[in-house]
């Protein structure tokens, strides 16, 4: 089955700097890669996703890149703000009602 690894487990950046979180997956059949942000005690919220026919996607300060050959994908947050502080989870799977596997999460702290 699918196995998703995520690095780093914790990340501290200064406000205004960029943050990069990296994930690798094992199942080459996976074709959908969402990123979720989870604030303490809250639900995971989808922030961006990418499908395997696209190499990069951007939404304002957030971007995701996908390298299918190497089976890794990354989340990039530019101009970080304190409200970006949260745990970020990557996931991999088939979006057609199949099993999603989440990474272990990265706790991002943006220091003012």
Chain contacts with another protein (rule: CB under 8 A): 34, 36, 38, 42-46, 49, 89, 91, 95-105
Q: Residue 101 CB, nearest distance to another protein (Å)?
A: 7
DSSP track, 23-85: EEE--TT--EEEEEEE-TTS--EEEEEEETT-SEEEETTEEEEEETTTTEEEEEE-S--GGG-
> Measured from the CB atom, is 42 or 58 closer to another protein?
42
> Measured from the CB atom, is 44 or 80 closer to another protein?
44
Q: Residue 15 CB, nearest distance to another protein (Å)?
A: 26
Nearest in space to 86 (alpha carbons), one of 50, 33, 46, 34:
46
The pair of structure tokens assigned to 95 is 């979006």
Q: Residue 16 CB, nearest distance to another protein (Å)?
A: 29
> Measured from the CB atom, is 25 or 89 closer to another protein?
89
d(CA 70, CA 47): 23
Q: Residue 63 CB, nearest distance to another protein (Å)?
A: 17
């Amino acid at each position: 089955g699918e196995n998703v690894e995520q690095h780093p487990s914790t990340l501290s950046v200064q406000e205004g700097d960029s943050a990069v979180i990296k994930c690798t997956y094992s199942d080459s059949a996976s074709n959908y890669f969402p990123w979720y942000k989870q604030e303490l005690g809250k639900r995971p919220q989808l922030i961006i996703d990418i499908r395997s026919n696209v190499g990069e996607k951007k939404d304002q300060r957030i971007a995701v890149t996908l390298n299918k050959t190497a089976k890794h994908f990354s989340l990039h947050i530019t101009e970080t703000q304190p409200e970006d502080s949260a745990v970020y989870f990557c996931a991999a799977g088939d979006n057609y009602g199949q099993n999603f596997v989440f990474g272990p999460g990265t706790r991002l702290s943006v220091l003012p």
